[in-house]
Amino acid sequence: MAMTFHQPDLDALPRYPLIVGDALEEQGSGDTLAHIYPGTGTVTREMRMASPADVDRAVEAAHAAFPAWRALPGDKRRDLMFRLAAVLEEQAQEMSPLLTAENGSIILAGPHMSADAAQKFRYYGGWADKIEGRTVPTWGGAAHDYVSYEPYGVVGVIVPWNGPLFAATMVLAPALAAGNCIVIKAPDLAPYSVMRLVELIRQAGFPPGVVNLVTGGAEVGEAMVSHPGIGKIEFIGSGTTAKKILANAAQMLKPVGLELGGKSAVLVFADADLQAAARRGLSGAVSANGQGCVNGTRLLVDRAVYEPYLQMLAAMAGHIKVGDPYAMDTIMGPVISEASLTRISGLIDRGVAAGGRVLAGGGRLGGELGDGYFLPITVLADVDPASEIARTEVFGPVLVVTPFDSEEEAIALANDSDYGLGAYVHTTSLARAHRVAGQMQAGQVQVNGAGEAMTPCVPFGGMKHSGHGRLGGIEGLREFQQVRNVWVNLQA
């Protein structure tokens, strides 16, 4: 029986690529974007995006709103953020199809994404009325010294296409709790969930101008980074773009927070629960259709259990249904674009040429999936850790597997990477878990896990080329606060 592909409900897609102050605007003054749904390669909507002039207006609106927002008592900010959390939960059924329409995320993931967004605003809403300073004992004379934590003013937020709602809420929740106003850029490849999020922020009762939306490409992002009215930039995306942002921001000595890419290692020791480790190892290719920055995609497996692990991994990969993202039984959808699919396919081909053994997948899916940008889970075994595919962030449903012979070798292989976002350790030995985790050059280490640690209450961020700064926990709140010290001479 022929498959019937669902198409996005065009009437349900958000209409406002710009929300500036109290105005919801159906078009900007920049370039026209034709958004493509990756499930079928068809255009969902053409919209005129923002321009640098629109960025100017958004920053002006944020500055106008800042004094009152900063002065708003913490309990009032808390209540607004709690109200927004409730609205996000109420709108979960409407938000889910937008997540699928914008980047091909499977519909099954939508409710979780909305619940996660609500949790972030609820968690940081709980901090909004607890921001306090501290006193500092001093010497050298009678004095009273104290520290206060102050907002930056206007924070510019640039989020990626692979998880726009997840990334946007990871930044907006702590930044708003800290008393900042926002100019956020929705990604041109996947704009809809951020557009709807800013609409819901208005619906929850946030004052106009506290959160402003611009939708656009690189030109809009560059205008935000170089704008003198933006006090800090928070960027989530690729290292290549981050280098440009840092060079631009350096001209103004503007602080920049970066959460970038990864090539996260998964270490599977011989004493691990192999079935659980294989299932969690597979998630590196499945989660976000393989397009997650912290996904574990570099599997390092003890040679003593190498072949059994590979057999389990290949068997499980064969049972993952790739297909219509709107279908409730689909486990994995498409990658974002034709260009991305071509790039990933080239990496796979070169990985095979370099000696990788194909255990699953290997090439683009055709037939009823041929119009979309679909790849199966691809598993390459016996991969040389020095090869391109072992060192490059593929950002697609591709796993590479390499054996190791000792704990020391596993640690060395895991750390032999330019990236340092995540690491995953599978073992039943508590001593080994702590010993190995303590040597990982990664911002987040999960033991016998595969993503469960990504909650609002824990800090998340990278080392090395995976960025700096942290989002989540009290560390995430501090990212959006400046420290002021006051010293009072008590002998004057």
Please tell me the distance from the alpha carbon of residue 38 to that of residue 42, in angstroms, as a whole number: 7
* 474: Cβ contacts below 8 Å, ≥ 6 apart: 127
Of residues 25, 293, 393, 479, which has the active-site annotation?
A: 293
- Give Cα separations from 47 to 44, 94, 379 (angstroms): 10, 21, 39
Q: What single-letter DSSP state applies at residue 460? A: B
457 is catalytic: no
Q: Which listed residue (199, 259, 393, 479) is catalytic?
A: 259
Angle between helices 52-71 and 218-225 (to 10 degrees): 50
User: What does the block give as tokens for 81?
Assistant: 């953020």
From the list 69, 119, 121, 112, the residue with the least C-alpha distance to 92 is: 112
Q: Indicate the burial class of 492 (C-beta count within 10 angstroms; 0-12, 13-18, 19 or more).
A: exposed
Distance, C-alpha 84 to centroid of its chain: 20
Q: Residues 176, 481: contact at Cβ < 8 Å?
A: no
Read off the DSSP letter of residue 145.
E
Burial label for 226, CB within 10 Å (0-12, 13-18, 19+), is middle
| 183 in Cβ contact with 4 (< 8 Å) | no
Pair of tokens at residue 431: 């001593």
Q: What DSSP designation does 369 have?
A: G
What single string gives the DSSP state of each residue in 157-185? EE--SSSHHHHHHHHHHHHHHTT-EEEEE
CB 465 within 8 A of CB 418: yes
Catalytic residues: 259, 293
